[in-house]
Amino acid sequence: MLYVKNLQKSYSIGKKSYPVLKGVDLSVAKGEFVAVMGPSGSGKSTLLNCISCYIPFEDGKITLGGQELKGMNENQLAKIRNEKLGFVFQDFMLLDGLTIRENILVPRIIQGNVSHDAEELADRLIDLFGISHIRGKYPAEVSGGERQRTAVARSLINQPLIILADEPTGNLDSKSSRTVIEAFENARSQMDATIFMVTHDSFSASFCDRVVLLKDGTVYRQLEKNGRRSAFHDLLLDAIKEMSGDES
């Protein structure tokens, strides 16, 4: 589904260049729920932004559903973002002037294809994520967890190949975080969604099938869940501890 090969990206400040991704290799299979974890500055968000085509990268290859993203023009990239990718952001990125239902439909509106089917799907997603009571409300009138579930629903409206989530629980309390993770699980189970999530939160990551640990711009280690979530959480904590220990 998603292949990232030898991805390299650096930022320039003045005349100095700071490499952030130093050859990242990873892949995500269809229907997989994958998390990327790592300390601050490890390149997690940069990796996600490169896959999202929000920022250009210098070297490497990103292939999504068999299509290579590098070299595409603006219009092609916009089409990919709209049709093949779904996005969930840390600060929700909902449009304040639209109702919850309208926000969910935004990718379809951009596509110019708000069919009856799309509206039905939106209503289904609303029900699926437990936000039917707020469908007519505006983002400012609902809680953080509800906003994020709206964002998850929005990311699914075009039935994308993959959902890219950037710290989706970063601004939420534990209860709301749990509802958002449940929303992802529902999306996977009910809609066969593939999810690629960047997170700091090992608890949220423990719900994933696989966790990619990133350190200093390279993949440090990949952990797979084989069994109970709590055991996977413990494994994750140990791996993070080990990674931090390497640092010290």
Binding residue (CB under 8 A) for another protein from 57, 87, 129, 232: 87
Q: How far is the CB of 108 from another protein (least distance, A)?
A: 9
CA–chain centroid gap for 54, Å, is: 13
Q: Spell out, one character per residue from 109 to 148, where the chain touches another protein: x when CB under 8 A holds, - when not.
A: xxxx-xx---x-----------------------------
Strands 85-88 and 33-37: unpaired
Q: Spell out, one character per residue from 11 to 50, where the chain touches another protein: x when CB under 8 A holds, - when not.
A: --------------------------------------x-
**Residue 80 is a binding residue for another protein (CB under 8 A):** yes
Residues ≥6 apart with Cβ < 8 Å to 145: 172, 173, 175, 176, 177, 179, 180
Binding residue (CB under 8 A) for another protein from 12, 40, 75, 248: 75
**Amino acid sitting at position 181:** I
Q: Which range binds another protein by CB under 8 A, 34-42, 73-81, 192-200, 224-232?
A: 73-81
**Amino acid sitting at position 177:** S
* Burial (0-12, 13-18, 19+ Cβ within 10 Å), 82: middle
Which of 123, 185 has the CB closer to another protein?
Answer: 123
Binding residue (CB under 8 A) for another protein from 105, 183, 193, 198: 105
Report the alpha-carbon distance of residue 235 to residue 240 in Å, rounded.
9
Report the alpha-carbon distance of residue 167 to residue 225 in Å, rounded.
20
Binding positions for another protein, 150-169, rule CB under 8 A: 154
Number of residues that bind another protein (CB under 8 A): 34
Strands 162-166 and 33-37: unpaired
The DSSP H or E segment spanning 81 is helix 74-83
Q: How far is the CB of 240 from another protein (least distance, A)?
A: 27
In this structure, how many other beta carbons lie within 10 angstroms of the beta carbon of residue 247?
9
Q: Which range binds another protein by CB under 8 A, 31-39, 81-89, 228-236, 238-246?
A: 81-89
**Amino acid sitting at position 165:** A
Binding residue (CB under 8 A) for another protein from 29, 95, 231, 237: 95
Strand order in the sheet with 33-37: 85-88, 162-166, 195-198, 33-37, 210-215, 218-224
For 12, the 3-state DSSP assignment is strand
Binding residue (CB under 8 A) for another protein from 102, 146, 167, 201: 102
Write out the residues near another protein by the rule CB under 8 A: 49, 52, 54-56, 74-75, 78-83, 85, 87, 89, 93-98, 102, 105-107, 109-112, 114-115, 119, 154
